[in-house]
Chain A
């Protein structure tokens, strides 16, 4: 079964840049689109990146997504970190009819 692996946690200081990785277990992660969701405590997830690198309206351009076929991974980069960015982040893709989430990464902004 296709799986996505994320680091359990990352931390960085306000104003800095952080990158969260999402590695596919098999095949090519570039074969299907990858999405990224932000989830704050007590809230439903919300999309910050869809279709690898597209931002929904209302998401600041500090958020960007990319795909690296050589490492079979996707990345979410957040620049100019703000304390409000502190949250859990999940990557998501699909394999046939299955929708697959990464295990989530807790971002701490300190």
Chain B
């Protein structure tokens, strides 16, 4: 059974850093395209970043240069390193497995990041 479990969220001050983790089971992270998607409180879904099975990475303009997506093959875990955090980064962050096209087949339960002083 495919399972994704996010962790690492919390309250952080503006300008701070946080690393989110997404522990996977039932499939191999490094063999799939994996994305992070976020949702600000009361708002819609926003794609954040993707890492391909090849290792190529891509980012939304809103986080480019501040966020880094990565994975650990030995831990079968996806990460999102978030630096220079802003109030507008406050959101629930979901990790998701992509299908054979850019579509989100499975989602984790999400982890809340709150950027506030």
Contacts and interface: CB of A to CB of B under 8 A. Distances in A.
Interface of A: 1, 32-33, 35, 37, 39, 44-47, 50-51, 88, 90, 92-94, 97-104
A45 B109 CA distance: 9
Contacts of A39: 45
B81 to A, nearest CB: 19
Contact of A33 (B46, B58, B103): B103
Majority SS at the chain A contact face: strand
Interface of B: 35, 37, 44-47, 50, 58, 60-61, 94, 99, 101-105, 107-110
Contacts of A100: 47
16 contacts: A1-B61, A32-B101, A35-B104, A44-B108, A45-B94, A45-B104, A47-B103, A50-B99, A51-B101, A51-B103, A90-B44, A97-B50, A101-B37, A101-B47, A103-B44, A104-B44
